[in-house]
Amino acid sequence: MIKENEMGVNDIFDYFKNHPLLVVTISTLSCAIIGFWLEFTLLQNFGLNIGMFASIDYFLLAGVTSPQVLVIFIALALSNFLKMKIIKQFCPVTEKNGHIHTFWRQVIFIAILVLAACIIYENSSQKYQTIVSNPEQYASVLLRTNNERLSDKTNDLTLITATDTFMIFYQHSTSAVIATPTENISAVSIINKNVLSGMSK
């Protein structure tokens, strides 16, 4: 006999179907958390805290517009769905094994979160190495003040990330990170490394 307080997969879907606003809220917050964690781990490699350069509104918006965030969110959602289906199929809930069922649900859920965290950390680490050692793009930044350039050297800046209030660059000549308020920037040109290689031939 199945416990009355145990919700099956269909019960959860029915509940979400009757509460669409809750689904939107949970999805938005989940994407915001994933987006924050991606940015946090990336900037942590450069010794920066993303919280100093972005507002909460930025994460709420960026979380649902970033393809990378959406892919991770969908993967997590599908993983949890499959987790519930598999557990229900191979370990049906009864009065005797209810606690075991709950235990394995929690264990698998934690394992999925740990795997997602590892993927995010690995992604940030690879992106950091690419920016520092082998950038795929360079940035040319023109400031509003006297139309000066952020760096006079060619192929010296690489864009790390951009928030609602700052654009953050890595300067190769000094190995420094430059955070510039967007209101101080007049124009930014992103130049692909492959284009530069083609022009030099």
Three-class SS state of 66: coil
Per-residue pLDDT at 172 exceeds 80: yes
Nearest alpha carbon to residue 196 among 148, 149, 135: 135
Is the model more confident about 25 or about 168? 168
Return the pLDDT at 6. Answer: 47
Per-residue pLDDT at 189 exceeds 70: yes
Task: List, for residues 70-118, the tens digit of each pLDDT value.
Answer: 788 888 777 777 776 776 666 666 666 556 667 777 777 788 888 888 8
What does the block give as tokens for 29? 């917050």
Q: CB–CB of 185/141 below 8 Å? A: yes
List the domain boundaries for the chain. 9-130, 135-200
Element (H, E) at 186: strand 185-192
- Which CATH number is associated with domain 135-200? 2.30.30
Average pLDDT on 122-128 reads 92
Is the model more confident about 186 or about 83? 186
- Rounded CA gap, 63 and 27, in Å? 10
Q: Which amino acid is at 48?
A: L
Per-residue pLDDT at 176 exceeds 80: yes
- Rounded CA gap, 49 and 42, in Å? 9
